[in-house]
Structure 1
Amino acid sequence: MTKNKTSLDNLKFGAIHLDVLKEIANIGAANSATALSHLVRKRIEMRLPSVKIAGINEAVEEIGGPERVVVQLLLQIKGDIQGSLFFLLSVDDTKTLLGCLLDESSIEIESLKFLQSELVRSALCEIGNILCGAYLTALADLTTLHLYPSLPAVCIDMLGATVTSGLLEKGYQMESVLIIETTLQEQAHSSVMKGSFLLIPDNRSIQPLFQALGVPLHE
């Protein structure tokens, strides 16, 4: 019996599709940088070194391997399409970003218990709303789809565990991920932070997503 399913892997995925996704990523990056700059009252620039499609396991390897410890900001996407959007930062880069936001020269996060601080969690949730929300807004604007993000969840764990648990608990059928590698730079102190967005649409959302973008898919 043949399975009737749609994923990014079993589509004839060409340069035009990746160009559309890159355009969404670029708009989202510009919106994110502007909103984050207003929040921290410092000039933040965001660049996109790469945008690519990969299987979930390959994506985990691409951004550091399953045992890499990361700080994860996760939003669930509801509405006309469903899925998950992650933003992942190393512990050191999280410290730098929190320093920009909280205007403190040193944030004590040597221990993995630093997320117990309500101030830190609130700051990271606000960053998650801005960064992930900007990408979803760009996607919604270009597609006219109705998208409803959840409140961001924050955790710190090994990359393999945190991505897997974030997907399994919602029961989505997901096999592929859009990896958006990004660099944030705070201009005043030349602070550079490298992060990764993972946009993981539910398989059932692939077709309506690209149809809304006006890009044909040929299975």
Structure 2
Amino acid sequence: MRQSNSYIVIYAAVLTIVCGGLLAMAAEGLKEKQQFNVALEQKKNILSTVINIEEGQDVNRLYEQRVKQFVVDFNGDVRSDVKPQDVNLSVEYKKPAKDRLLPVYEFVNESDSSKVDNVVLPVYGYGLWNDIWGFVALESDMNTIKGVKFDHKGETPGLGARIESDPELQARYQGKSIYEGDKLVSVTMMKGEGNDYSDDKHKVDGMSGATLTAKGVNNMLSDYLQSYERYLKKKKTNS
């Protein structure tokens, strides 16, 4: 039996409302778990810049024991009115550097929590196609890179996406220096791949076929390390 047009329209509308309601309920019910998983993943990324995370390790407990987190401004002053989890880097990135809120994660010594072994700094930028971001861990000298962890939203698979998927590429930054004397010069990923920059503290080997992504990483590091420079200088002075 052929149904009228009004019946089809009403049926489709009711079906849409019911399905939409069920999806909304499911999303709301899973919201807390999703937020927990996002926070856990960030903690893993922060910790992985300074130590190896073993399978089955209690990340939340380790993070609580070893990480002190806070926010500073461009002048390196602590902002006690803001928590790191409330800072949206994709929003802060679009602001002038002097107006940004800058989360800091200090990795403290296992036996002496008053001693900071490493400082982990979030970085944010733009690659070839979309946003890129990550964390840079520095040794206690506030100069030598302990490790990095990069991620991206839409870089080319197998090429620029290697900034996230290739541990060997991220390991190229270990031991490099962001200062040359008293001048902050950052670290530059060079064009091409297969070159040896072991004697240059400010250069790392690049990614074949991903020059624009490499430029995005370079700009991201330079931009955000300069944003944190006054905090780094204060930290060195206090140390």
Task: Name the TM tier (shorter chain).
Answer: under 0.3
Q: Structure 2-normalised TM-score?
A: 0.25
Q: Rg bigger for which structure?
A: 2
Q: Structure 1-normalised TM-score?
A: 0.26
The structure with the largest strand share of the pair is: 1
Higher relative contact order (CA 8 A, sep 6+): 1
